[in-house]
Structure 1
Protein backbone atom coordinates (compact mmCIF):
# COMPACT_ATOMS: atom_id res chain seq x y z
CA UNK A 1 0.00 0.00 0.00
CA UNK A 2 2.98 2.32 0.53
CA UNK A 3 3.65 2.75 -3.20
CA UNK A 4 0.06 3.88 -3.77
CA UNK A 5 0.47 6.64 -1.17
CA UNK A 6 3.76 7.68 -2.75
CA UNK A 7 2.05 7.87 -6.15
CA UNK A 8 -0.78 9.98 -4.69
CA UNK A 9 1.75 12.43 -3.21
CA UNK A 10 3.66 12.55 -6.48
CA UNK A 11 0.45 13.21 -8.40
CA UNK A 12 -0.42 16.03 -5.98
CA UNK A 13 3.04 17.53 -6.54
CA UNK A 14 2.53 17.23 -10.29
CA UNK A 15 -0.82 19.03 -10.14
CA UNK A 16 0.62 21.82 -7.99
CA UNK A 17 3.61 22.15 -10.30
CA UNK A 18 1.28 22.30 -13.31
CA UNK A 19 -0.76 25.02 -11.62
CA UNK A 20 2.40 27.05 -10.98
CA UNK A 21 3.56 26.49 -14.55
CA UNK A 22 0.16 27.63 -15.88
CA UNK A 23 0.45 30.85 -13.89
CA UNK A 24 3.96 31.42 -15.24
CA UNK A 25 2.80 30.75 -18.81
CA UNK A 26 -0.08 33.20 -18.39
CA UNK A 27 2.30 35.84 -17.00
CA UNK A 28 4.66 35.22 -19.92
CA UNK A 29 1.73 35.64 -22.30
CA UNK A 30 0.78 38.96 -20.68
CA UNK A 31 4.40 40.17 -20.89
CA UNK A 32 4.56 39.25 -24.59
CA UNK A 33 1.26 41.03 -25.28
CA UNK A 34 2.60 44.19 -23.66
CA UNK A 35 5.79 43.94 -25.74
CA UNK A 36 3.58 43.83 -28.83
CA UNK A 37 1.41 46.67 -27.48
CA UNK A 38 -1.58 44.38 -27.10
CA UNK A 39 -3.57 45.34 -24.00
CA UNK A 40 -4.91 42.18 -22.39
CA UNK A 41 -4.77 42.81 -18.66
CA UNK A 42 -7.22 40.56 -16.88
CA UNK A 43 -7.83 38.12 -19.73
CA UNK A 44 -8.93 34.74 -18.44
CA UNK A 45 -7.84 31.29 -19.53
CA UNK A 46 -11.38 30.60 -20.78
CA UNK A 47 -11.27 33.72 -22.93
CA UNK A 48 -7.96 32.57 -24.40
CA UNK A 49 -9.48 29.17 -25.13
CA UNK A 50 -12.40 30.78 -26.98
CA UNK A 51 -9.94 32.87 -29.02
CA UNK A 52 -7.98 29.70 -29.75
CA UNK A 53 -11.12 27.78 -30.74
CA UNK A 54 -12.31 30.49 -33.15
CA UNK A 55 -8.80 30.96 -34.51
CA UNK A 56 -8.32 27.24 -35.05
CA UNK A 57 -11.74 26.31 -36.46
CA UNK A 58 -12.91 29.60 -37.97
CA UNK A 59 -16.26 31.28 -37.56
CA UNK A 60 -18.30 29.73 -34.75
CA UNK A 61 -21.65 30.31 -33.05
CA UNK A 62 -22.33 29.99 -29.34
CA UNK A 63 -23.69 26.45 -29.65
CA UNK A 64 -20.69 25.15 -31.58
CA UNK A 65 -18.26 26.89 -29.20
CA UNK A 66 -20.16 25.38 -26.27
CA UNK A 67 -19.89 21.86 -27.70
CA UNK A 68 -16.25 22.25 -28.77
CA UNK A 69 -15.18 23.56 -25.36
CA UNK A 70 -17.55 21.45 -23.25
CA UNK A 71 -18.95 24.55 -21.52
CA UNK A 72 -22.49 25.84 -21.11
CA UNK A 73 -23.92 28.20 -23.71
CA UNK A 74 -24.40 30.75 -20.94
CA UNK A 75 -20.72 30.67 -20.00
CA UNK A 76 -19.69 30.98 -23.66
CA UNK A 77 -22.12 33.87 -24.12
CA UNK A 78 -20.55 35.77 -21.20
CA UNK A 79 -17.05 35.13 -22.49
CA UNK A 80 -18.01 36.28 -25.98
CA UNK A 81 -19.57 39.45 -24.55
CA UNK A 82 -16.27 40.26 -22.84
CA UNK A 83 -14.30 39.50 -26.00
CA UNK A 84 -16.66 41.71 -28.03
CA UNK A 85 -16.05 44.60 -25.60
CA UNK A 86 -12.30 44.07 -25.92
CA UNK A 87 -12.70 44.09 -29.72
CA UNK A 88 -11.11 40.65 -29.98
CA UNK A 89 -14.05 39.13 -31.86
CA UNK A 90 -16.80 40.44 -34.16
CA UNK A 91 -20.40 39.34 -34.51
CA UNK A 92 -21.38 38.32 -38.00
CA UNK A 93 -24.36 36.76 -39.73
CA UNK A 94 -23.90 34.15 -42.41
CA UNK A 95 -25.51 34.84 -45.78
CA UNK A 96 -27.82 31.82 -45.54
CA UNK A 97 -28.94 32.52 -41.93
CA UNK A 98 -29.33 36.15 -40.87
CA UNK A 99 -30.88 35.17 -37.53
CA UNK A 100 -28.00 33.18 -36.08
CA UNK A 101 -25.01 35.08 -34.67
CA UNK A 102 -21.50 33.82 -35.40
CA UNK A 103 -18.16 35.09 -34.14
CA UNK A 104 -14.86 35.62 -35.90
CA UNK A 105 -11.56 37.06 -34.76
CA UNK A 106 -10.81 40.69 -35.43
CA UNK A 107 -7.35 41.74 -36.59
CA UNK A 108 -6.55 42.30 -32.91
CA UNK A 109 -7.91 38.82 -32.10
CA UNK A 110 -5.75 37.31 -34.86
CA UNK A 111 -2.65 38.84 -33.25
CA UNK A 112 -3.59 37.36 -29.87
CA UNK A 113 -4.33 33.98 -31.47
CA UNK A 114 -0.97 34.00 -33.26
CA UNK A 115 0.93 34.83 -30.08
CA UNK A 116 -0.96 32.17 -28.13
CA UNK A 117 -0.20 29.60 -30.85
CA UNK A 118 3.51 30.45 -30.77
CA UNK A 119 3.71 30.04 -26.99
CA UNK A 120 1.57 26.89 -27.11
CA UNK A 121 3.82 25.33 -29.77
CA UNK A 122 6.93 26.07 -27.69
CA UNK A 123 5.34 24.36 -24.67
CA UNK A 124 4.30 21.37 -26.77
CA UNK A 125 7.81 21.02 -28.22
CA UNK A 126 9.21 21.05 -24.67
CA UNK A 127 6.94 18.14 -23.69
CA UNK A 128 7.80 16.21 -26.85
CA UNK A 129 11.53 16.64 -26.14
CA UNK A 130 10.90 15.36 -22.62
CA UNK A 131 8.99 12.30 -23.87
CA UNK A 132 11.75 11.29 -26.31
CA UNK A 133 13.62 9.59 -23.46
CA UNK A 134 10.91 6.91 -23.19
CA UNK A 135 10.47 3.79 -25.30
CA UNK A 136 7.36 3.33 -27.47
CA UNK A 137 6.02 0.78 -24.95
CA UNK A 138 6.56 3.22 -22.08
CA UNK A 139 4.85 5.98 -24.07
CA UNK A 140 1.84 3.74 -24.66
CA UNK A 141 1.64 3.07 -20.94
CA UNK A 142 1.97 6.79 -20.12
CA UNK A 143 -0.81 7.55 -22.62
CA UNK A 144 -3.06 4.91 -21.07
CA UNK A 145 -2.26 6.10 -17.55
CA UNK A 146 -3.04 9.73 -18.35
CA UNK A 147 -6.32 8.79 -20.05
CA UNK A 148 -7.27 6.70 -17.00
CA UNK A 149 -6.43 9.61 -14.67
CA UNK A 150 -8.58 11.98 -16.77
CA UNK A 151 -11.49 9.52 -16.68
CA UNK A 152 -11.22 9.24 -12.90
CA UNK A 153 -11.18 13.01 -12.25
Structure 2
Protein backbone atom coordinates (compact mmCIF):
# COMPACT_ATOMS: atom_id res chain seq x y z
CA UNK A 1 0.00 0.00 0.00
CA UNK A 2 1.46 3.35 -1.00
CA UNK A 3 1.35 6.48 1.17
CA UNK A 4 -1.68 7.94 -0.63
CA UNK A 5 -3.63 4.75 0.06
CA UNK A 6 -2.38 4.73 3.65
CA UNK A 7 -3.64 8.30 4.17
CA UNK A 8 -7.07 7.57 2.71
CA UNK A 9 -7.39 4.30 4.64
CA UNK A 10 -6.12 6.09 7.76
CA UNK A 11 -8.81 8.79 7.43
CA UNK A 12 -11.51 6.16 6.95
CA UNK A 13 -10.23 4.09 9.86
CA UNK A 14 -10.05 7.13 12.18
CA UNK A 15 -13.52 8.28 11.17
CA UNK A 16 -15.00 4.81 11.67
CA UNK A 17 -13.34 4.45 15.09
CA UNK A 18 -14.65 7.84 16.20
CA UNK A 19 -18.16 6.99 15.03
CA UNK A 20 -18.07 3.59 16.72
CA UNK A 21 -16.62 4.92 19.97
CA UNK A 22 -19.06 7.85 20.16
CA UNK A 23 -22.09 5.97 18.87
CA UNK A 24 -23.20 4.21 22.05
CA UNK A 25 -23.02 7.32 24.24
CA UNK A 26 -24.75 9.42 21.56
CA UNK A 27 -27.53 6.88 21.08
CA UNK A 28 -28.02 6.52 24.82
CA UNK A 29 -28.09 10.28 25.48
CA UNK A 30 -30.15 11.16 22.40
CA UNK A 31 -32.64 8.28 22.37
CA UNK A 32 -35.40 8.72 19.84
CA UNK A 33 -33.38 11.02 17.59
CA UNK A 34 -31.63 9.99 14.39
CA UNK A 35 -28.16 11.39 13.65
CA UNK A 36 -29.54 13.32 10.65
CA UNK A 37 -32.13 14.98 12.92
CA UNK A 38 -29.47 15.95 15.47
CA UNK A 39 -27.23 17.35 12.72
CA UNK A 40 -30.14 19.43 11.39
CA UNK A 41 -30.75 20.76 14.90
CA UNK A 42 -27.05 21.58 15.25
CA UNK A 43 -26.96 23.41 11.90
CA UNK A 44 -30.13 25.40 12.65
CA UNK A 45 -28.78 26.51 16.03
CA UNK A 46 -25.48 27.71 14.57
CA UNK A 47 -26.77 29.35 11.37
CA UNK A 48 -29.23 32.22 11.24
CA UNK A 49 -32.08 31.91 8.74
CA UNK A 50 -31.55 28.21 8.06
CA UNK A 51 -33.72 26.88 5.26
CA UNK A 52 -34.11 23.58 3.39
CA UNK A 53 -31.59 24.54 0.70
CA UNK A 54 -28.88 25.61 3.16
CA UNK A 55 -29.41 22.48 5.26
CA UNK A 56 -29.24 20.23 2.18
CA UNK A 57 -26.02 21.85 0.96
CA UNK A 58 -24.38 21.70 4.38
CA UNK A 59 -25.38 18.12 5.21
CA UNK A 60 -24.91 16.75 1.66
CA UNK A 61 -28.49 15.56 1.47
CA UNK A 62 -31.32 16.16 -0.97
CA UNK A 63 -33.87 18.88 -0.37
CA UNK A 64 -36.52 16.15 -0.27
CA UNK A 65 -34.72 14.35 2.55
CA UNK A 66 -34.28 17.61 4.48
CA UNK A 67 -37.96 18.46 4.02
CA UNK A 68 -38.92 15.12 5.57
CA UNK A 69 -36.52 15.62 8.47
CA UNK A 70 -37.68 19.17 9.18
CA UNK A 71 -41.33 18.05 9.12
CA UNK A 72 -40.47 15.38 11.71
CA UNK A 73 -38.59 17.91 13.84
CA UNK A 74 -41.55 20.31 13.73
CA UNK A 75 -43.90 17.48 14.68
CA UNK A 76 -41.59 16.55 17.59
CA UNK A 77 -41.63 20.18 18.73
CA UNK A 78 -37.87 20.69 18.26
CA UNK A 79 -37.95 23.35 15.55
CA UNK A 80 -40.43 25.86 14.23
CA UNK A 81 -40.71 27.51 10.86
CA UNK A 82 -40.98 31.23 10.23
CA UNK A 83 -41.03 33.71 7.38
CA UNK A 84 -39.59 37.18 7.11
CA UNK A 85 -42.07 40.05 6.69
CA UNK A 86 -40.36 41.12 3.45
CA UNK A 87 -40.14 37.57 1.99
CA UNK A 88 -43.28 35.48 2.32
CA UNK A 89 -41.96 32.86 -0.13
CA UNK A 90 -38.97 31.54 1.81
CA UNK A 91 -39.41 29.37 4.92
CA UNK A 92 -36.76 29.41 7.63
CA UNK A 93 -36.25 27.35 10.78
CA UNK A 94 -35.25 28.04 14.37
CA UNK A 95 -35.02 25.85 17.44
CA UNK A 96 -37.71 25.69 20.07
CA UNK A 97 -36.70 25.49 23.74
CA UNK A 98 -36.98 21.69 23.46
CA UNK A 99 -34.72 21.76 20.39
CA UNK A 100 -32.16 23.82 22.32
CA UNK A 101 -32.10 21.13 25.02
CA UNK A 102 -31.26 18.46 22.42
CA UNK A 103 -28.58 20.70 20.90
CA UNK A 104 -27.06 21.31 24.35
CA UNK A 105 -26.89 17.55 25.06
CA UNK A 106 -25.21 17.01 21.68
CA UNK A 107 -22.76 19.86 22.29
CA UNK A 108 -21.87 18.51 25.75
CA UNK A 109 -21.20 15.06 24.28
CA UNK A 110 -18.82 16.58 21.74
CA UNK A 111 -17.01 18.42 24.55
CA UNK A 112 -16.71 15.14 26.43
CA UNK A 113 -15.25 13.40 23.36
CA UNK A 114 -12.90 16.33 22.79
CA UNK A 115 -11.68 16.03 26.39
CA UNK A 116 -11.17 12.28 25.94
CA UNK A 117 -8.96 12.92 22.87
CA UNK A 118 -7.21 16.03 24.24
CA UNK A 119 -3.95 14.21 25.03
CA UNK A 120 -3.37 13.44 21.35
CA UNK A 121 -4.06 16.97 20.13
CA UNK A 122 -1.84 18.53 22.80
CA UNK A 123 1.12 16.78 21.17
CA UNK A 124 0.44 18.22 17.71
CA UNK A 125 2.50 21.26 16.76
CA UNK A 126 1.12 24.34 15.01
CA UNK A 127 3.09 23.38 11.90
CA UNK A 128 1.55 19.89 11.92
CA UNK A 129 -1.95 21.35 12.32
CA UNK A 130 -1.26 23.80 9.47
CA UNK A 131 -0.01 20.98 7.26
CA UNK A 132 -3.03 18.76 7.98
CA UNK A 133 -5.48 21.63 7.46
CA UNK A 134 -3.79 22.60 4.21
CA UNK A 135 -4.05 19.04 2.92
CA UNK A 136 -7.73 18.74 3.92
CA UNK A 137 -8.57 22.06 2.23
CA UNK A 138 -6.81 21.03 -1.00
CA UNK A 139 -8.49 17.62 -1.02
CA UNK A 140 -11.89 19.17 -0.25
CA UNK A 141 -11.52 21.68 -3.10
CA UNK A 142 -10.56 18.81 -5.43
CA UNK A 143 -13.64 16.81 -4.40
CA UNK A 144 -15.85 19.90 -4.84
CA UNK A 145 -14.48 20.29 -8.37
CA UNK A 146 -15.11 16.60 -9.11
CA UNK A 147 -18.68 16.89 -7.84
CA UNK A 148 -19.20 19.92 -10.08
CA UNK A 149 -17.52 18.23 -13.07
CA UNK A 150 -19.78 15.20 -12.75
CA UNK A 151 -22.82 17.45 -12.57
CA UNK A 152 -23.83 16.09 -9.21
CA UNK A 153 -26.13 18.48 -7.40
CA UNK A 154 -26.21 17.47 -3.74
CA UNK A 155 -29.44 19.32 -3.14
CA UNK A 156 -31.56 17.88 -5.94
CA UNK A 157 -33.43 14.60 -5.90
1:151 deviates by 7.1
Larger RCO (CA within 8 A; separation ≥ 6): 2
Gaps in structure 1 of 5+ consecutive residues: 31-39
Distance (Å, rounded) in 1 between the aligned partners of 2:133 and 2:108: 25
- Residue aligning to 1:84: 74
**Per-residue displacement from partner, 1:15-40 (whole Å, max 9, x unpaired)?**
4422311312422423xxxxxxxxx4
Secondary structure class of the residue paired with 2:39: helix
Number of equivalent positions: 143
8 Å Cα contact 2:78-2:98 kept in structure 1: yes
CA RMSD of aligned residues (A): 2.9
1:94 maps onto 2:56 in alignment: no
Gaps in structure 2 of 5+ consecutive residues: 144-157
1:108 deviates by 0.6
- Residue aligning to 2:44: 54
1:135 deviates by 2.7
Secondary structure class of the residue paired with 1:92: strand
Distance (Å, rounded) in 2 between the aligned partners of 1:61 and 1:137: 38
Moved more, 3-12 or 93-102: 3-12
- Residue aligning to 2:151: none
- Residue aligning to 1:23: 23
8 Å Cα contact 2:22-2:113 kept in structure 1: no
TM-score after normalising by structure 1:
0.72
